[in-house]
Amino acid sequence: MVASKSPADAVAEALQLDQVAFPKHLKELATMLKEIEAKLKPTIVKLDTKEIDTSKGLSFLEVKYHILLEYITNLAFVMYRKLDGQSIQDHPAVLALVEQRTILEKMKPVEQKLKYQIDKLVRAAVVGQQDGEAQSNAAGADPLAFKPNPKNLVLDNENGDDGDDQDNDNDEDGDKKTGLYRAPKMAPVHFEEDSSAVAKRLKYQARLQARAAKSRVMKDLVSEFDDRPEEMSLTNDGVHFGMGMDDKQREREEYEEANFTRTMLSKKEIGRL
């Protein structure tokens, strides 16, 4: 029977494992801090020299980053006290961590609503100042550029039209004089009809054709203009060629011939015969 470990032995074993892994994690942390410092130095220099203007940014993100920085600072301080063997019970840093974590969690729904605006500003910052052609190409490749903009409805009388629109100037002037609206010219597009609508339309046409084929007028026309001899009809519809028996009578006869049996007729069917 294996004896269970005492709490003291379990703590000692955990401490031994931590002592082996701690130097490795400490080296990784020092390396990451150096990389972060090297990446932040150019940005800090640009902020000090006013090369980067943050006055037109989103105040929401600024508040979020300040809270996140305070959260990381308090977390590092709590880790320092624990490594130094000091108590963190009821310490103000722990209470601040709880408050800041709650604020960050509550900010997530608001950040989701501002996602489009944030993405747009980030793209503008990445692209930077480019010429008009490059900006138009980037806007065409960006789906966010197609968002409705009410400012586009306002006519700009100061700027002239581009070279591509000069061919339509005469047409536009004529439209303004007559006061008529003319739809813009677009490339023709084939209309793809719904498959269910096509099937429904074909079924309706087939039903109309079947109804017309069984109509009395059609039977009279076939009997009148066909060269083959006429037959006496058994359905009391008159004398018609090719209509000696109706469909039900033909089906009954085929069934009797195939199964070598006679089917029972109702009084109504006997009366028709």
CA-CA-CA-CA dihedral for 44, 48, 53, 58, to nearest 10: 60
Of 100, 27, 21, the closest CA to residue 68 belongs to 100
Q: When comparing pLDDT for 146 and 54, which is higher?
A: 54
**Alpha carbon 3 to chain centroid, angstroms:** 61
Give the whole-angstrom CA distance, residue 124 versus residue 199. Answer: 50
H-state helical runs in the chain = 7-48, 59-83, 92-113, 115-127, 132-141, 169-178, 195-213, 216-225, 247-259, 267-272
Backbone angles phi, psi at 142, to 5 degrees: -95, 120
Task: State yes or no: pLDDT of 138 exceeds 70.
Answer: no
**Domain segments of the chain as ranges:** 16-122, 203-272
pLDDT per residue as tens digits for the range 147-190: 666 776 665 554 444 444 555 555 555 555 566 666 666 655 55
pLDDT per residue as tens digits for the range 194-239: 677 778 888 898 888 887 777 767 777 777 777 777 666 554 444 4
pTM for the model: 0.41
